[in-house]
Chain A
């Protein structure tokens, strides 16, 4: 049971990759007053749900997410013994020019310029009145410092303005809880793969325990940085563009394969393929040893994906064997990658299990997951007092006491 079919509809203009095309919608011009022309995309599905009868057993939360280059605002309602209702889920992404990553400073400015607009739009779409909101949830960490701070300030402001309790949420737990809610996976092994995180997680004793992780850089970071080397567009996301190019690759080059137990490492792989690409771009003659055909950038994307994803599937399988689970849930931005989902699906099927994945609305950072995880904590009585409403770049998944699960 996988749900990963929506991404194409949302990015119709990118269904064919054209490396020379210059669409760069939200490139951030540093000295302009109103830098962002794009309208926030509306990614909520259930926003038509009319908001009529509110009772206190059906709490509503607003979630603010901005730990990296996506700013997300989501509004969720929990009803006992029913699936959570997504009243609004809006996101706006800061896209940097090809060859560049997103700097904390610029990302923070982006979030600051958009947060008010997004909150207003989310409220409008959901039809929720401010008075009916029960709590304001925000990402406490982990993430990039400056963007986190911008969003934390916005959350604090709303809390004081509307006199609502604040709930600080662990970003990773947000991903996991949203994935479980959407897919209905009950107690899966979780592969959390994004620009900054690569973790294999399983639940035990009210903690999400990390069984394996990347020992150096995250998989998404590896892909993003490789995209910069090849000057691949960051719009809509470098990983997405690599995925499209990889579909046209056919020669597998030998790339280091670095799995250490349930952990893995990507910095060596990035170093290797970066050097290879640089050689290639400067005119070195690289050929496939069997066919004698030249190696293309598409082949590099293909090889990188095949190797790195095989590593991820392998460590996930190892963790599944270790904890005796046959369900696997993929969350995080890289989790949108259909090849990764496909490989994971084959592995899970061989083990007599299944893979659960969500589409980009929930895989990629979003506000609704923060609202959801925050509301779960809020219902167990957890709040973050305003003078403790800090944010932190380092916040381990296993630091959170998961009081809402048995």
Chain B
């Protein structure tokens, strides 16, 4: 089972997939190809089963999101036997990069000025209205996702991206989409209209269960706190927005409490 070589440049080698930037049909239409290479550590049967299943399920989920109006890349082409999905190219930074830059930026600003107590830099970011807006957007997007009964399965700040909101859905031409390369890494995007785009549905599933949604949020919470320990205070803003914007949020958030406790209880026998 040899896989064809990918026509494109490798831009990211994640844990599960290799991601290439390429073009689709026309040289002016940028696309992203996500390839799930064989994992040699896994039993071949298990590997094939997982790769196929994940590839098809990811494409289906992306499609479902797209139809229901949750921002995510559009699927162009699927080759599940080779574990490949060709999809829309999303231009913009990940929330992870953005938050990191904001935190570093405000710390630098501080250290240039007078010497103040440590932790001042973080509180800047924590109270920045643009950042709070961004957190609300994240909560809203995750809320929308859960309203259409999709569980992302791997919500981290790396799997949330920011992109300039497109004015019309029909007229988006990639050629006019040539984003001005920003040197501040997309921070200026926060000024205008932007949307939070969900990527990587590799571990997603369709489920109506509150438990699954709560676990989804728990995964995000844990990823958020461990990736941005200094900005962990921002997480409750995400939850607030989630609460306001998602229909079943009350039950899910109550369930989240239980999931948290369960996670903590796990520190038992050694």
Contacts and interface: CB of A to CB of B under 8 A. Distances in A.
Interface of A: 67-68, 139, 141-144, 171-172, 175, 194-198, 202, 204-205, 209-216, 218, 221, 252, 254, 257, 259-263, 306-307, 310, 313-314, 317-318, 320-322, 332, 342-344, 346-347, 350, 365, 393-397
A101 B137 CA distance: 49
**For B14, B156, B270, which residue has the most chain A Cβ atoms within 10 angstroms?**
B270
Contacts of A175: 270
B15 A215 contact: no
A321 B14 contact: yes
B173 interface: no
24 contacts: A143-B268, A194-B269, A195-B269, A197-B268, A198-B266, A204-B226, A210-B222, A215-B266, A216-B262, A218-B268, A260-B153, A261-B203, A263-B219, A263-B222, A310-B39, A310-B46, A314-B15, A320-B15, A321-B14, A322-B223, A322-B227, A350-B40, A396-B267, A397-B267
B219 A262 contact: yes
Contacts of B203: 259-261
Given A261-B203, A310-B42, A194 B266 contact: no
A394 B264 contact: yes
Interface of B: 13-16, 39-43, 45-46, 49-50, 153-156, 158, 203, 215-216, 219, 222-223, 226-227, 229, 259, 262-270
A258 to B, nearest CB: 10
Contact of B270 (A195, A209, A260): A195
Given A261-B155, A310-B43, A322-B227, A215 B215 contact: yes
B229 A204 contact: yes
Contacts of B155: 261
Nearest to B220: A261
Contacts of A204: 226, 229
Contacts of A172: 267, 270
A252 B269 contact: no
Interface of A is mostly: mixed
A343 B156 contact: no
A342 B40 CA distance: 11
B206 to A, nearest CB: 15
Given A68-B270, A322-B156, A396-B267, A215 B43 contact: no
Contacts of A320: 15
A317 B203 CA distance: 15
Given A218-B268, A306-B46, 5 more contacts: A204-B226, A204-B229, A210-B222, A254-B49, A257-B50
A317 B263 contact: no
B270 A314 contact: no
B83 to A, nearest CB: 15
B269 A261 contact: no
Contacts of B227: 322
Nearest to B152: A261
Given A209-B229, A257-B46, A320-B15, A346 B40 contact: yes
Contact of B153 (A144, A261, A332): A261
B268 A142 contact: yes
A144 B41 CA distance: 34
Given A142-B270, A262-B223, A321-B15, A343 B41 contact: yes
B270 A171 contact: yes
Given A216-B262, A260-B153, A346 B267 contact: no
Contacts of A141: 267
Ranked nearest first, the 9 interchain pairs of A and B with the lowest CB-CB distance are A196-B269, A261-B219, A321-B15, A346-B41, A171-B270, A343-B41, A318-B15, A317-B15, A261-B154
Contacts of A313: 41-42
Nearest to A257: B50
Contacts of A202: 226
Contact of B266 (A143, A214, A257, A260): A214
Given A67-B269, A68-B269, A321-B15, A260 B219 contact: yes
Nearest to A205: B229
B219 A306 contact: no
